[in-house]
Every structure is written in structure tokens, then in C-alpha cells.
């Protein structure tokens, strides 16, 4: 992992903010919502300020549950981006974000994200990939995985390089 990669958080990851470079590598765009990854909220005034900031700068259908109703005396960390990245992965797997229809129908996204997301069964996606997605979409941020764990899980999902043999079936 690159030094410093866990000190900043995008807080607005969504498909339209991720472009592909010449080599196919993802490039983040629109860094206007980026701030420090770990924010220690030390009271109700700071909690409300962060909640208002998130309402203005974080796309509602990709916003982590903890940013809809920020608790006093809590820590908001990079796992908000893990949630949003889970929404992006869901959109890549199923063609639309998990809360896009909720938003389009005018229903409450803030309420919808408080319930555990049901991941559709699909023969196109491995159980391991669906489990990874489910872990990223865990409502409780304390139970959501950290970025280094996600990277190791993603590496495990990679197919073997051409010419390498595997015993996996």
C-alpha cells in the first residue's frame, strides 16, 4: 500500500467520480469532498457540523449510514469510503447502485441505509465476491472492514496469472 493512502478520505466515491486511465487503472475525480480520514467527533455541535457538511458534499445514494446521523463522541474514519466503494462495486455487479431506485422514487435513502442490504444471488458472481460486497455494505461502521483487509481480499479474488496453475476449483 502506498504511504499516506489511509490519511485522506474521498467521502464521495461514486461511479461518475471514477475514470479509467490509459492502462485501465482507476483515477479518482472531483476531490472536493476529500478530507482527513479519521475525524474524532467530540460533541453535538461538531456532529451536526459534520452531518451538514456530508449532506452538502456527499452523494446521497453513496453516503455511508454514519454520515446521515453523526453521533456525538464518535470516530468517523476511512470506512465511510469502504461503504461508498461497496456501492460502486454493487453498481458494477448489478448495473445500478443499491440505493439509486430508492432515491429516484423519492423514498428516504437515510432510512434505507439503516437496514442491512440484501445482495442479489447471481451465478455471474462468486460467493467470495458477494461476501466481500456484503462486508463492505455492513451498516455498523465498526464491523465494516478496513482498507488493508479489503486489499488482501481483492488480491485473493484475482485469477491466477497466465501460465500459473491453481488447485482451486
Place of cell 488480491: 155
Domain membership of residue 26 (yes or no) is yes
Domain membership of residue 1 (yes or no) is no
State how far the Cα of 43 lies from the Cα of 166, in Å rounded to an integer.
53
What's the pLDDT tens digit per position in 116-136?
Answer: 999 999 889 999 999 999 999
| pLDDT score for 168 | 45
State how far the Cα of 51 lies from the Cα of 55, in Å rounded to an integer.
6
| pLDDT score for 167 | 47
Domain membership of residue 149 (yes or no) is yes
- The segment with the largest mean pLDDT, out of 5-19, 27-41, 58-72, 148-162, is 58-72
Domain membership of residue 169 (yes or no) is no
Show the domain range for 110. Answer: 8-157
How would you classify the pairing of strands 18-20 and 26-28?
A: antiparallel
Give the three-class secondary structure for 106.
Answer: coil
Domain membership of residue 163 (yes or no) is no
Q: What CATH number did the domain enclosing 121 receive?
A: 1.10.510.10
* pLDDT above 90: residue 33: no
Domain membership of residue 124 (yes or no) is yes
CA distances from 83 to 24, 68, 127, 162, 169 (A): 23, 13, 19, 32, 30
12 an active-site residue?
yes
Instruction: Indicate the pLDDT class of residue 162, thresholds 50, 70 and 90.
Output: confident
Domain membership of residue 168 (yes or no) is no
| pLDDT score for 97 | 95
* Number of domains forming the structure of the chain: 1
Domain membership of residue 162 (yes or no) is no
* pLDDT above 80: residue 161: no
Amino acid at each position: 500500500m502506498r504511504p499516506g493512502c489511509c490519511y485522506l478520505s474521498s467521502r464521495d466515491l461514486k461511479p461518475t467520480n471514477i475514470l479509467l486511465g490509459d492502462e485501465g487503472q482507476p483515477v479518482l475525480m472531483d476531490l472536493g469532498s476529500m478530507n482527513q480520514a479519521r475525524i474524532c467527533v467530540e460533541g453535538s455541535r461538531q456532529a451536526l457540523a459534520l452531518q451538514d457538511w456530508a449532506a452538502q458534499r456527499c452523494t446521497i445514494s453513496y453516503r455511508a449510514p454514519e454520515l446521515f446521523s453523526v453521533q456525538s463522541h464518535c470516530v468517523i474514519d476511512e470506512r465511510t469510503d469502504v461503504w461508498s466503494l461497496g456501492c460502486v462495486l454493487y453498481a458494477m455487479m448489478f448495473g445500478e447502485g443499491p440505493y439509486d431506485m430508492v432515491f429516484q422514487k423519492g423514498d428516504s435513502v437515510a432510512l434505507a441505509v439503516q437496514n442491512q442490504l440484501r445482495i442479489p444471488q447471481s451465478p455471474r458472481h462468486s460467493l467470495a465476491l458477494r461476501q466481500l460486497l456484503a462486508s463492505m455494505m455492513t451498516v455498523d461502521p465498526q464491523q465494516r472492514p478496513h482498507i488493508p483487509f479489503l486489499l488482501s481480499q481483492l488480491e485473493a479474488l484475482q485469477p491466477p496469472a497466465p501460465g500459473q496453475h491453481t488447485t482451486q476449483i
